[in-house]
Amino acid sequence: MEIREFPWGSDKRYNDYSAWFRSKFEGKVQKISIDAGFSCPNRDGSKGVGGCTYCNNRSFNPDYCRIEENITGQILTGIRFFSSKYATMRYLAYFQAFSNTFAPVEILRQSYEEALRHPEVIGLVIATRPDCLSDEILELLEEFSERCYVAIELGIESFRDETLQKINRGHSVAESMAAIRKIAERKIDNCTHLILGLPGESDADFISFAETLSGLPVHSVKLHQLQIHKGTRMALEYRDHPENFNLFEVDQYASLVVRFLEHLSPDIIVQRFVSSAPASMVIAPNWGMKNYEFVAKVDKLLKEEDSWQGRLM
């Protein structure tokens, strides 16, 4: 069979993050999730209260990440967890829980410095909101990026203002776009998070999101299928009005991912297609499928349809 090479230099039918990651860093590198104890302006009243309707932030933390430990403790626990799997390993400190640029600059500096103090930590991945990136904070992150790898993960979730209001995000599409541009201007890698399947959105909307991303200086994207998590406002909305939700079956979502990829610029690296909250926290949909099994499904579909990322751009 003919082996085809795509613009990102492999026969994989989309621009795969794991391949990019391996070429970026020498040797084995692993992200260690950290909960640095930051809050979120959409919970403490600065921007809103109650948070985004789908958010139960505890679902972001892996088992080894314990908020009772300080940053150094969490890094040591993470290293103990991963170092038993591989003899030599280096790490990126992944500030994952809540909004990790939502604090005074000096506190942020101390937190990032604490993570980098461990000699095997070679970079920072910082998850935050588009409206938590003042020029002062971007300057700080740029300063760090001059001495180590830095990436910023941005919760964009939707490119429809109506949806952002409905899910109580507390920021606008314009703010998301401005944040992406500002991060790129500082030559820092950005990763945009999108949720596919939010109430009121259609497949045509999701395809338009791929097109919008393609027109922005986006480095990578993480897609998530909408899941209803226990303990969230959305769980109550789902209980009271399930007719307002159109949760994906696994095959339906795999097909949508293929359509999304076809309209996504080949330059944008794809980090993931699905969420992976612990099953005990998920109300619906419960696919009972591992990430790698879903990836295999998308790979198979792309091959069967002889399609690839950016084919319909």
Which one of residues 34, 52, 92, 180 is an interface residue with ligand SF4 (CB under 6 A)?
52
Which one of residues 30, 57, 227, 275 is an interface residue with ligand SF4 (CB under 6 A)?
57
Minimum distance from residue 66 beta carbon to ligand SF4 (Å): 18
Ramachandran class of 124: left when φ > 0, alpha when ψ lies in -120 to 50, beta otherwise: beta
Residue 130 engages ligand SF4 in binding (rule: CB under 6 A): no
Site pattern 16..45 for ligand SF4 (x: CB under 6 A): ------------------------x-xx--
Q: Considering beta carbons, is residue 40 or 79 the nearer one to ligand SF4?
A: 40
Q: Considering beta carbons, is residue 32 or 52 the nearer one to ligand SF4?
A: 52
180 CB burial (10 A radius; 0-12, 13-18, 19+): buried
Residue 210: strand, helix, or coil = helix
Q: What are the phi and psi torsion angles at 138 (to 5°)?
A: -65, -35
Q: What element of type H or E holds 176?
A: helix 173-185
Residue 294 engages ligand SF4 in binding (rule: CB under 6 A): no
Q: Considering beta carbons, is residue 14 or 98 the nearer one to ligand SF4?
A: 98
Instruction: Return contacts of 274-280, CB within 8 angstroms, 24+ apart.
Output: 274/223, 274/224, 274/225, 275/224, 275/225, 275/227, 277/59, 277/227, 277/229, 278/59
Which one of residues 13, 32, 51, 100 is an interface residue with ligand SF4 (CB under 6 A)?
51
> Would you tell me which residues interact with ligand SF4 (CB under 6 A)?
40, 42-43, 51-52, 55, 57, 98-99, 129, 155
